[in-house]
Amino acid sequence: MRGNTPIVLLSVGHACVDFYQGAVAALLPFFIAERAYTYAVASGVVLAASLLSSVAQPVFGALTDRWPLPWLLPVSTLLAGAGIALSGLSGSYALTLVCVALSGIGVAAYHPESARVARIAGRGSHRAMGWFSTGGNIGFALAPLTVAAVVATGGLRWTPLLVLPALAGAAMCLCVVRAQQLRQADGFRMKVPTGSDDTTSFVQLSLAVVFRSIAFIGLSTFISLYARQRLGGSMAAGTAALSVLYLGGAIGSVLGGFLAARWDRVTVSRWSYLITAVAIAGVVWVPGPPLYLFVALTSMGLYVPFSLQVTLGQDYLPSRVGTASGITLGLAISIGGIAGPAIGSLADATSLRTALTPLVLMPVLSWLLLRTLREPSVPQPQITAPAKGDATGATHSPARGPAHAEPR
């Protein structure tokens, strides 16, 4: 269990950070109800959280390629929480946008460094990265329930209570940082091997993740409102649909790690996107309670390839793991929020069903981009540890040390 501890802590910390990405969409119905926002205006809140994050993630990724920045983990977690905690206190739309944008910067700062640390701690294991991604999905899933419980009770003025997950997540990150410092002080060095970059494949993969992002953020922004329209107008129906969308992602991330152990990552991702296209069509067009089933299938289909694409990006750019993580885990995901206002404007002019219909094409485009990709082959990371009685240290294969154990 001790060898799994860093991944467990990183997964919990990831949950606390991604809670705030899920909280943005969960707050939209309350902004609409209390402040009379239109669909387009409400989607601007999502855009504010995504836009700065999209720009900042590659920058933080490039920085982590040059220098390890473990202190970013607790600091960025606190920033992500503070922005959302303050977002409900002012009736000013501009100040609300500033608050959620600050939260987005915190999320942007967290992901490249955390993905770099998770890759090292997991020795490049797809299953370990799957657990790390699952932590983020669980945070997403808990956000609608927590926001509904807090804001439905006290209104938007109670949003400062939402800072509590950030405090817990920062504590988890501090434990990881401290453990890493102690291992380095003892002479342990965990290195990810480098190789030649395949920039063309990386760009192709990133475009596939962008289309996935448009589908996911488009649904997460409007699925709560859409479910309320389709199932009788209950706030609970909308909260349940958003929770299912996020919770299905937790299942999909774990499933993706297991499937990749049997088939390669590219093949698993291709099939997942084809299934997702059918599932989104069900969300948009199948009436009644089966909506929840198709939301769950959509979520799992979008998240089976999620962690696999993060490690694929790192393997296509082995000399720039931080940059790869910042793009596949951050930029290509948050950039989907840019499509939010367009979807909202179309919904204002027509209907939510009409506005959500183009999302069916997004996973099809991702599938087309993945058709010509090939699975990269890379060596596994190594641990350099001090030998007994040898102050200079010796190199050991990760398979021979207890730290090689994967999360179970």
Q: Is the pLDDT of residue 408 over 50?
A: no
Q: Is the pLDDT of residue 357 over 90?
A: yes
- Identify which has the larger pLDDT, 37 or 391: 37
Angle CA 365–366–370, to nearest 5: 120
Instruction: Convert the pLDDT of each residue in 235-254 to its tens digit.
Output: 788 888 888 888 887 788 77
Query: Is 255 buried (19+), middle (13-18) or exposed (0-12) by CB count in 10 A?
Result: middle
Find the range with the poorest average confidence among 38-52, 112-126, 260-274: 112-126
Angstrom distance (rounded) from CA 399 to CA 405: 8
Token couple for 319: 């000399």
Token couple for 252: 């999909």
Token couple for 365: 């485009």
Query: Which residue, among 123, 104, 110, has the nearest Cα to 71 in the 3D structure?
Result: 110
Average pLDDT across the chain, whole number: 80
Q: Is the pLDDT of residue 143 over 60?
A: yes
- Cα-Cα-Cα-Cα dihedral sign, residues 43, 46, 52, 58: negative
Find the range with the poorest average confidence among 164-178, 187-201, 219-233, 349-363: 187-201
CATH of the domain at 381: 1.20.1250.20
End-to-end CA distance of the chain: 9
Share of the chain above pLDDT 90, in %: 23
Average confidence (pLDDT) over 373-385? 63
Q: Is the pLDDT of residue 396 over 50?
A: no
Describe the strand order of the beta sheet including 394-396 as a list of residue ranges.
Answer: 189-191, 382-385, 394-396
DSSP letter string over 216-269? HHHHHHHHHHHHHHHTTS-HHHHHHHHHHHHHHHHHHHHHHHHHHHHS-HHHHH
> What's residue 389's pLDDT?
47
Domain count, the chain: 1
Find the range with the poorest average confidence among 40-44, 61-65, 339-343, 346-350: 61-65
> What's residue 205's pLDDT?
92
Share of the chain above pLDDT 70, in %: 83
Instruction: Convert the pLDDT of each residue in 218-230 to its tens digit.
Output: 888 888 888 888 8
**Confidence (pTM):** 0.69
* Domain extent for 16: 2-404
Residue 400: which pLDDT band, with cuts at 50, 70 and 90?
Answer: very low
Angstrom distance (rounded) from CA 221 to CA 235: 15
> What's residue 84's pLDDT?
94
> What's residue 405's pLDDT?
37
> What's residue 395's pLDDT?
41
